Structure 1
Amino acid sequence: MKLQHATWQEVEAYLQRSTGIIVPIGSTEQHGPNGLVGTDAICPETIAWELGQRHDILVGPTQNLGVAQHHLAFPGSISLRPSTLIAVLRDTVASLARHGFTHLFFINGHGGNIATVNAAFAEIYSEHSVRAGGQTGPNLTLFNWFAGRRGRELAESLYGDAEGSHATASEVSLSWFARPEAVKSVSMSPKVAPVGSAQCDADEFRRRFPDGRMGSDPSLASVEHGSRFLEAGVEDAWEAYRAFTGRA
């Protein structure tokens, strides 16, 4: 069940049987010559929706904007400051906790969010520890779909070193499976993009990676591969969700 497609009465009824919720989080940023700007939000959202449908887990709205300043030299990219994302996450968690949600499972699609999300969790735990007076606080975890064991093994088997680290064939495939009308056929030059660090400002990033790719060849992507990454992602996420919530 999707939170934004439910009535408040349906959410109230859900809380009688479960206090866990999935929150997809991603980014709006360039993904090379054939990748969608929304890739990092589409991928975790697609996994979250399928996981929620299969296992009766409520799925919250996707946080589509993340920390992506190093992509801002590419048109269409939108970035939040780390402090802004922390504030958004603090308010999101506080709102859901007020209703009685105890376990918030964030499925992430953007590596650049990891440090900031963990900092937000630390802020939330710190504030609760100081003010709560013994009351139980929210349980928070971040699951990065692209780091799941099944997904990594599938990417290795399909693409090897050409998977790369940004605008990867795996994430492009999954986003195409979710949005097949947006499939792009584009030649890559060079075939496999250069590798390097993204720890730089936006203009330097574009100088290092002129078409936006990092070590990848997303021309290898396909809708059929995307269906396989969805299955792998759902299985990885379900395993992590069960461990997090103690659900049998």
Structure 2
Amino acid sequence: MRLQLCTWPEIETYLARSTGIIVPIGSTEQHGPNGLIGTDAICPEVVAAEVGERIGALVAPTLSIGMAQHHLAFPGSLALRPTTLIAVIRDVVQSLAVHGFRHVYFFNGHGGNVATAHAAFAEIHSDASFAGGEGGLRLKLANWYMGGRVQRLSRELFADSEGSHATPSEISLTWHAHPDRARPMTMTPRLAPQAEFGDARDYRQKFPDGRIGSDPSLASIEAGTRLFEASVVDTIEDYQAFLAQG
């Protein structure tokens, strides 16, 4: 079930049986020479949609712009400041809580969102604690690429070529979702460098084509289909365990 395709009476009926909702969250940023700028939003969005179909879970609209200031030296990248993203997450959660949602599962595709999302959760819980209210919200951030099946499959398919940005796994998954946008190509060097970085200029200087430690020339639609299925199964298990926490 996609929230934006429901009516309000349908949401009211849904809440009578479940207080859980999946909120895909990602980023709009460069992903190397052959990766789509929307990769980090596309990946959690397509997996979450399938999870929703298979188990009847409600899926919110994707939060598609994230904390990505370090990519702003590449055309097309968009970013929110950490404080802005915290405010967005707080407003989304509090909007859902007004209606009776108590289990909000953020399904993430961008590593740069992790610290900021957890800071937002801390702010939300602090609001309840300082107000002396009942609280009771359950919040979780899960990354589509960290499930056990996905991790094992990524190692099997790509080994040390996976890297940490513009990875062959995430590029493959976007090609599964949008096969008409597949752009196979050779990378030079084969493996991108690894290094610490700070602002956008520093990032561009250290990673001229946008990749970090990866070889996305290994990406394929076929690998993306396998990763998609692995992530769907991982996510169903994790989401259902999250709801069972009460």
Superposition TM-score, scaled by structure 1 size: 0.97
Structure 2 CA distance for aligned equivalents of residues 64 and 243 of structure 1: 26
Q: Which among 223, 231, 237 is matched to residue 235 of structure 2?
A: 237
1:212 maps onto 2:236 in alignment = no
1:192 aligned partner: 191
Over the matched positions of the two proteins, sequence identity in percent amounts to 60
Structure 2 CA distance for aligned equivalents of residues 132 and 150 of structure 1: 41
1:59-107 CA distances to partner (integer Å, 9 max, x unpaired)?
0000000000110000000010000000000000000000010100010
2:22 aligned partner: 22
Structure 2 CA distance for aligned equivalents of residues 146 and 210 of structure 1: 25
Structure 1 CA distance for aligned equivalents of residues 108 and 80 of structure 2: 15
Structure 2 CA distance for aligned equivalents of residues 155 and 91 of structure 1: 35
Structure 1 CA distance for aligned equivalents of residues 101 and 21 of structure 2: 7
1:190-245 CA distances to partner (integer Å, 9 max, x unpaired)?
11111122x31101101110000001010111111111111111111112112211
Secondary structure of 2:16's aligned partner: helix
Structure 2 CA distance for aligned equivalents of residues 121 and 131 of structure 1: 16
Q: How many Å apart are 1:132 and its aligned residue?
A: 4.0
Secondary structure of 1:233's aligned partner: helix
Structure 2 CA distance for aligned equivalents of residues 241 and 185 of structure 1: 34
Find runs of 4+ consecutive structure 1 residues off by over 3 angstroms: none
1:92 aligned partner: 92
1:171 aligned partner: 170
Contact residue 125 and residue 137 of structure 1 kept, 8 A: no
Unaligned runs of 5+ in 2: none
1:144 aligned partner: 143
Following superposition of structure 1 onto structure 2, how do residues 73-152 of structure 1 map, counting pairs within 5 Å? 73-133=73-133, 135-152=134-151
Structure 1 CA distance for aligned equivalents of residues 158 and 132 of structure 2: 49
Q: How many Å apart are 1:12 and its aligned residue?
A: 0.8
130 and 112 in structure 1: CA distance in 2 versus 1, 3 angstrom threshold: same
Secondary structure of 1:59's aligned partner: coil
Amino acid at match of 1:174: L
Structure 2 CA distance for aligned equivalents of residues 226 and 65 of structure 1: 23
1:96-145 CA distances to partner (integer Å, 9 max, x unpaired)?
00001010001000000000000000000001111143x13311000011
1:67 aligned partner: 67
Structure 2 CA distance for aligned equivalents of residues 81 and 182 of structure 1: 29
Following superposition of structure 1 onto structure 2, how do residues 35-74 of structure 1 map, counting pairs within 5 Å? 35-74=35-74
Contact residue 129 and residue 135 of structure 2 kept, 8 A: no
Superposition TM-score, scaled by structure 2 size: 0.97
Contact residue 184 and residue 219 of structure 2 kept, 8 A: no
Structure 2 CA distance for aligned equivalents of residues 232 and 154 of structure 1: 8
1:148-202 CA distances to partner (integer Å, 9 max, x unpaired)?
11111101000100010000000000011111111112221111111122x3110
Unaligned runs of 5+ in 1: none
Amino acid at match of 1:94: Q
